Amino acid sequence: MVILNYSTDPQLGLVVAKYKPNKKVMATRAVIGKLQTDGSGIKAIYLHSDGYLEHAGRILDEHYRDESKVDELLALGDLSAIDKNIGNKIEFGNYKLRAENKQCVAYHRDRGEQHKHFDLLDSELDLIKFAKRSCDAEYVYMFAFGYWYVYSVEDNTYEFVELEDELYVLK
């Protein structure tokens, strides 16, 4: 979410609107998906916290490169947090154990919510719409053809780019 910050350009005498992060947003939401090789669509789950490139993007790129591990991650359903290990059931609010285990926290497994396996979407555009409308997500990650791709909702180009390329830009 962004807010406009207005300032005057002293050289041109124009009022310039600049985007500035809204400090009130506590979580960077994301959607994580995988293009199904059988052509059935894109499986997608919601990630509530730390969905930004430097955290979720880096974890996906470094620890979820194997298709079977991506499937295991999606099988958890919607996530509160992502980390390098799938992990085992823990008490939902036990942040210390989560950090020690460096594990994901899932709403069904760890909080006991009704299990929602995943959303099955027809296309990349449907995935982006789902991320914007249903999840208020800022980032969309998609595993396809053995690689991770990312889309920033603020971008509005409707194009996925290779995640590794975006992470390289951050270094």
105-123 pLDDT tens trace: 999 999 988 877 788 999 9
Q: Does residue 15 form part of some domain?
A: no
Q: Does residue 8 form part of some domain?
A: no
Tell me: pLDDT of 15 over 60.
no
Sign of CA dihedral 1, 144, 117, 73: negative
Q: Does residue 19 form part of some domain?
A: no
pTM given for the model: 0.82
Among residues 53, 56, 49, 48, which one has the least CA distance to residue 83?
56
Q: Does residue 149 form part of some domain?
A: yes
Q: Number of folded domains in the chain?
A: 1
- Mean pLDDT computed over 27-52: 95
Q: Does residue 4 form part of some domain?
A: no
- Is residue 17 very low, low, confident or very high in pLDDT (cuts 50, 70, 90)? very low
What range defines the domain where residue 162 resides?
A: 24-170
pLDDT of residue 66: 95
Q: Does residue 93 form part of some domain?
A: yes
